[in-house]
Structure 1
Amino acid sequence: MFVEWPCPRPGGETAGEMARVQDNGHAHRVLVIPPLFDEANKLRAQLAAVMRRLGRAGVDSVLPDLPGWNESTAPLSEQSLSGWRSAMASAAGHFGTSHALAVRAGALLVPDGLPGWDYAPIGGRQMLRGMLRARTIAAREAGREESSDAIAETGRREGVELAGWQLGPTLFAELEGAEYTPDPVRKTIAQSDICGNPLWLRAEPDTDSDQADALVAIITHTLSSENPGSSEKPE
């Protein structure tokens, strides 16, 4: 189901954002942090399938929208990575999550100290590199020549549109400096652990039931190792 949650905005205000919630009263609740930008679109249906499987396995989950995401009314160009981190930490507290599953650059938004899994994590610079390359290729096909260095300089100075996403200068600069750092309380899941071709590399959004099953199997195995008892909340 979808619910609205009070997402913090700059200045101490809050605004309603949507969240997909799978809630059956289980002891574990996983905060699902999707990839950023186009990769989020590519994996949206796959992550919904993972959440349904987690529910059948006795694990609740929640995937919150943040300002500038999906149907949010907040302009993407005004967002920052630090603001998203703060909002994701607020979502973790609001929904009472016990773990987090972060995918790709979503690993940059994991709240401090929250255990869980980082699936094929990447840093901000690596993500921007792919978006810059896509823009230069599109420009070349349109008969223009643009260099990645020049585009990046524009992004730092005034913001830039990459692959249809309008990134403001603050977000662009923060992403450039955001490195993924493994956390000892979190398990890194490589694509080779899941098998199959990465869905974010496909031309169109798609799902893969075998990959969803494999990901859920890793999550539930970790949880059963942490707490081999009942998955239900105590009365």
Structure 2
Amino acid sequence: MAPRIDHYDWPGGREGMLRFGPDDGPLAVVALPMFEEGNRTRTFVVTLLRALAERGIGSVLPDVPGQGESITPLAGLTLLRMATALEAITDRCLDDGRRTYAVGIRSGALLDGCALHSGRWHLAPQTGADLLRDLHRTWRAASHSGDQTMMMAGGDPVEIAGNLLPSDLLLSMSAATPSDQPGIPRRVVRLASDPAAADRHVDAAPLWRRSEPGNDAALAALLAEDIAGWIAACEA
């Protein structure tokens, strides 16, 4: 089933999104990893959402402000503003009587805390501190020296992997954690190489660590089956 081009409006403007699967029933709202990891995993996530559509689950893959194809500048953005943008999708669905479920990949799991989702499914979720460590390693690899404090010193935007990241955005990451609200179902899936606690570990290579974008159709099918079964259980 081919994806359809759509959009959503939020207080800061309008962003594009891809829509997959049926136009009724529960909807998965997917957040890619932020910055360069999103570029490496987008093809894989599209394969995953096609597999979800084959299992009768609708989904959307939105451009987060400042990410992907978004033309919103990163200046002035924080994790909260990004999460508020995605909240607009769920608000529209709830107005239409349609429940939503968050699907957060890596640092994308930091972006679903504002929306009134019926559940959250996270793949290898990162904390904001994890994300900052990754950004700091990338910054150091570009011939900079110093710790994270020095990376964020001065208040000026910091260029990391071609992104000009404002200090407010970096600071908003420091204490951020994936949402885990009492009474709201949450399922965490991690790779077998990750010893952190999870509801399930799967044997697969981390696509986000590759130097170029990649795909893994077998992993996409496995995760689609997991998500579809979990959403069905939540809906029952």
TM-score tier by shorter-chain length is 0.7 to 0.9
**1:28 to 2:26 alignment:** yes
Instruction: Give the paired residue count.
Output: 217
Contact 2:30–2:103 (8 Å) recurs in 1: yes
Q: Distance in 2 between matches of 1:38 and 1:7?
A: 24
Equivalent residues in 2 for 1:169-184 (5 A)? 169-180=167-178, 182-183=180-181
Aligned to 2:213: 205
Equivalent residues in 2 for 1:131-170 (5 A)? 131-139=135-143, 146-149=145-148, 151-154=150-153, 157-170=155-168
Contact 2:87–2:116 (8 Å) recurs in 1: no
User: Given residue 88 of structure 2, which amino acid in structure 1 is its aligned partner?
Assistant: S
Q: Distance in 2 between matches of 1:113 and 1:26?
A: 18
TM-score computed with the length of structure 1 as normaliser = 0.85
Q: Distance in 1 between matches of 2:116 and 2:28?
A: 14
Cα displacement string for residues 195-219 of structure 1 (whole angstroms, at most 9, x for unaligned residues): 2111001111100011101111111
Cα displacement string for residues 41-66 of structure 1 (whole angstroms, at most 9, x for unaligned residues): 11101111111111110000011112
Structure 1 residues without counterparts, runs of 5 or longer? 10-14, 140-144, 229-235
Distance 1:197 1:180, change over 3 A: same
TM-score computed with the length of structure 2 as normaliser = 0.84
Contact 1:80–1:170 (8 Å) recurs in 2: yes
Aligned to 2:197: none
Cα displacement string for residues 89-113 of structure 1 (whole angstroms, at most 9, x for unaligned residues): 1122224442111111111111355
User: Given residue 216 of structure 1, which amino acid in structure 2 is its aligned partner?
Assistant: A
Distance 1:113 1:25, change over 3 A: closer
Equivalent residues in 2 for 1:1-235 (5 A)? 1-9=4-12, 15-95=13-93, 96-110=98-112, 111-114=114-117, 115-139=119-143, 146-149=145-148, 151-154=150-153, 157-180=155-178, 182-183=180-181, 185-192=185-192, 193-227=201-235
Q: CA deviation at 1:189?
A: 1.0
Contact 2:86–2:115 (8 Å) recurs in 1: no
Contact 1:159–1:172 (8 Å) recurs in 2: no
Distance 1:88 1:79, change over 3 A: same
Identical residues among aligned pairs (%): 27
SS at 2:152's partner residue? helix
User: Given residue 7 of structure 1, which amino acid in structure 2 is its aligned partner?
Assistant: W
Q: Distance in 2 between matches of 1:76 and 1:172?
A: 11
Cα displacement string for residues 71-105 of structure 1 (whole angstroms, at most 9, x for unaligned residues): 22211123111111111111222244421111111
Counting helix residues as a fraction of each chain, which structure ranks higher?
A: 1
Contact 1:26–1:58 (8 Å) recurs in 2: no
Contact 1:20–1:63 (8 Å) recurs in 2: yes
User: Given residue 197 of structure 1, which amino acid in structure 2 is its aligned partner?
Assistant: A
Which protein shows a greater Rg? 1
Structure 2 residues without counterparts, runs of 5 or longer? 193-200
